[in-house]
Structure 1
Amino acid sequence: MSISSLTVQDVLETYKTAVYEKDVEAYLALYTSDFHVYDCWDDWECVDRSQWAASTKEWFHGLQEENVLLHVAFDDVVTEESGSLAFVRCNVTFAAHNESGEKLRQITNRFTFGLRKENDSWRIAHQHSSLPVNGETGQGVFQRK
């Protein structure tokens, strides 16, 4: 599949594959040049491609060092498309497995993607991941009930 003709569903599938294969270039190619990311990890936001590339490389390198394969699953996906803009909301589960297939851990985040069509291909222009917060502890809730 050409990275230059992605449908909205192709973006999600390519995201899963790029994370599993720890393919930094394929992962970064999913984003527009002027993207905006709100993420749950460390940084409040990211709008700089070099910062996003460094963060992605660090994430994938950490997985490589642990010898972990990260399976990504999108659930409860709702997609709306209109012209050159699309909106996706879903739950994303990241499950770490060892090479023999044993699940080591997993977390689930809520994701919202805003996509924009550029040169007949959808790209992520905005990504927001979030977690509910436990009112008693103030800690993020990483597992769906």
Structure 2
Amino acid sequence: MSSAFRTVKAVLENYKSAIYEKNVERFLSAYASDVHIYDCWENWACIGISQWKETIQNWFNGLNEEGYYLKTSFDDLVIEENANLAFVYCAVTFAAHNACGEKVHQITNRFTFGLRKENESWSIIHEHSSLPINMETREGIFNLR
């Protein structure tokens, strides 16, 4: 499934543009076949690219049904890398826009990515999305800022 991503930043740019375009195959091209995902939405974990593909297809289909486009941004981005492994953590904001370009709503999650370089190309081998929890309501806090 992988394309040639020569830099970690190229993986992140692909992530943003593939989400905006709702392009499942392009989105998944940055993930390793043995990817392990911890996500905030419904599933405890997704293990392997086929399970992750199903999740992403459902996500993008839902966006199409709602008529939304997501503009994704990375804040407080930290990238640590050596020759073959990289560790990224940041706040990722997903801002939903309607067909007229108006922002409808947005959420921000904390993300950690683990990447591996093979054959001169980076791929995501682990992704962890999380939210702080309001201890009184037991609900996730989507926007701390």
Scaled to the shorter chain, the TM-score interval is over 0.9
Partner Cα distance (1:37, 1:106) in 2:
22
Q: Select between 43-52 and 106-115 the one with higher mean Cα deviation.
A: 43-52
Q: Select between 15-24 and 47-56 the one with higher mean Cα deviation.
A: 47-56
Structure 1 length-normalised TM:
0.96
Partner Cα distance (1:73, 1:106) in 2:
11
Partner Cα distance (1:142, 1:70) in 2:
16
1:3 aligns to what SS in structure 2?
coil
Which runs of 5 or more structure 1 residues have no equivalent in the other structure? none
Amino acid at match of 1:69: Y
Which runs of 5 or more structure 2 residues have no equivalent in the other structure? none
Q: Over residues 7-29 of structure 1, what are the superposed CA-to-partner deviations in whole Å (9 max), with x where a residue is unaligned?
A: 10000000000000000001111
Partner of 2:112: 112
Contact map agreement 2:35 2:125 (CA 8 A) in 1: yes
Map 1:1-145; keep pairs closer than 5 Å: 3-145=3-145
Structure 2 length-normalised TM:
0.96
Residue identity (%): 58
1:64 aligns to what SS in structure 2?
helix
* Count of aligned residue pairs for this structure pair: 144
Give the C-alpha shift of residue 48 in structure 1: 2.6
Q: Over residues 50-94 of structure 1, what are the superposed CA-to-partner deviations in whole Å (9 max), with x where a residue is unaligned?
A: 211111111001101111111100000000011100000000000
2:133 aligns to what SS in structure 1?
coil
Provide runs of 4+ in structure 1 moved above 6 Å: none
Partner Cα distance (2:96, 2:6) in 1:
27
Partner Cα distance (1:3, 1:117) in 2:
12
Give the C-alpha shift of residue 6 in structure 1: 3.0
Partner Cα distance (1:87, 1:51) in 2:
23
Give the C-alpha shift of residue 100 in structure 1: 1.2
1:137 aligns to what SS in structure 2?
coil
